[in-house]
Chains A and B, each alone.
Chain A
Amino acid sequence: MADQSLPVSGTALPPGTKAPEFTLSATPDQTLSLAEMRGHPVILAFYPADWSPVCGDEVSLLNEVLPEFHRFGAQLVGISTDGVWCHAAFAAERKLHFPLLADFEPKGETARRYGVYRASEGVADRALFVIDAEGIIRWSYVSPLGINPGADGILEALEPLAPRTEGAAA
């Protein structure tokens, strides 16, 4: 609840900016690049670290809302400075159905490019970006580190972007 660690305001790349390319490890032997996801809206969820408490955990919430993101044709990736083995254990324990990318070496470089790196702590901000099918940032949001931003802003940003694939609902 305490909103210590307020975000460094105004450094996150704003809407209208071309999303910086990246290629990051998704598993110990696979990488994922932004370019590979072109053609669909992409949600980037930067977060400070794996293993925060579960019930109010942002990553777990986004995982639950994932089917709804898919209805908008969007892909979700999580990004933190944790390494691939940490991500693998975290994803398995939380039953995550989307990739976690390791912004590990050079540490935090992708977060830096998006303007959401906290150099003093060595972690990414809790920041969300919605990127359209052409690779343009359409929405970005940085929340205080201790506050889970929820998923409503993402859904709102996705609405105008993609033709809804009706009938895909479970």
Chain B
Amino acid sequence: MTRPIPPLAADDHVLGDPASAVTLVEYGDYQCPYCGEAYPVLKAVQSAMGRKLRFVFRNFPLVEVHAHALRAAQFAEAAAEAGLFWEAHDLLYENQDTLDDRSLVAFGDRMGLDRALLAAAFEGRHNEKIQRDFLGGVRGGVNGTPSLFINGQIYEGERDVDSLIEALSAAAMVRL
């Protein structure tokens, strides 16, 4: 019934080596508190797994319940144009309480992000990509945030470092 999530595309945000044994895809919302809780966990998992793991972030903004979620996603996409996606991603998750427009502009300045890129993003330059991420996730069975997929399979286990490393390592073994 459920389609697979879309395969990796050229405009995906990917951290890690294409030769990695296992790929973890997160569908996330920058204003979602559960994604905020998952952020340091996923960092720890990435650090523990090193080159074995490829991490991908896709947008799943719940714009009706999170007033700043779309703007934050636009900000991160603008940063991606300047090669600063992961800096933006981390900054957003480390500052979830201040995601209003003024704060986003200040974050952009702090990162050295061209204000014109941010303005274009706020006007919708990346909305099609954000929507494509969202709908691809919906069709693939994303039912809330964060949703995690390991080598394309939805992960419904506990979201602590040890459980994730165990599941990712098992998936890496299968692949090899």
Interface residues of A (CB under 8 A from B): 1, 54-58, 60-61, 63-65, 68, 94-97, 148-153, 155-156, 170
User: Contact check: which of A61, A68, A96, A156 meets B143 at CB < 8 Å?
Assistant: A61
Q: B32, B34, B62, B134: which has the most chain A beta carbons within 10 Å? A: B62
Contact indicator B62/A64 (Cβ below 8 Å): yes
Contact indicator B143/A58 (Cβ below 8 Å): yes
Is B63 part of the binding interface, using a Cβ–Cβ cutoff of 8 Å?
yes
Contact indicator A152/B141 (Cβ below 8 Å): yes
Q: B29, B135, B157: which has the most chain A beta carbons within 10 Å? A: B135
Report the separation of the CA atoms of residues A153 and B140 in the bound assembly, to the nearest whole angstrom: 10
User: Contact check: which of A61, A65, A97, A152 meets B3 at CB < 8 Å?
Assistant: A152
User: Contact check: which of B34, B64, B158 meets A60 at CB < 8 Å?
Assistant: B64
Which 9 A-B residue pairings sit nearest by Cβ, starting from the closest? Answer: A56-B144, A150-B143, A148-B143, A95-B64, A55-B34, A152-B2, A151-B138, A152-B141, A55-B32
- The B contact surface, by secondary structure, is loop
User: Which residues of B sit under 8 angstroms from A150, Cβ to Cβ?
Assistant: 2, 138, 141-143
User: How many residues from B make CB contacts under 8 Å with A?
Assistant: 26
Report the separation of the CA atoms of residues A68 and B132 in the bound assembly, to the nearest whole angstrom: 12
Contact indicator A54/B143 (Cβ below 8 Å): no
User: Which residues of A sit under 8 angstroms from B141, Cβ to Cβ?
Assistant: 150, 152
Contacts between chains A and B (CB distance < 8 A), count: 63
Contact indicator B156/A68 (Cβ below 8 Å): no
User: Which residues of A sit under 8 angstroms from B145, Cβ to Cβ?
Assistant: 55-56
Query: Which of B75-126 touch A at CB < 8 Å?
Result: none
User: Which residues of B sit under 8 angstroms from A60, Cβ to Cβ?
Assistant: 62, 64-65
Report the separation of the CA atoms of residues A61 and B35 in the bound assembly, to the nearest whole angstrom: 16
Q: How far does the Cβ of B33 sit from chain A's closest Cβ, in whole Å?
A: 7
Is B43 part of the binding interface, using a Cβ–Cβ cutoff of 8 Å?
no
Contact indicator A68/B135 (Cβ below 8 Å): yes
Given contact pairs A57-B144, A63-B64, A94-B65, A68 touches B138 in the complex (Cβ within 8 A): yes
Report the separation of the CA atoms of residues A47 and B34 in the bound assembly, to the nearest whole angstrom: 22
Contact indicator B2/A95 (Cβ below 8 Å): no
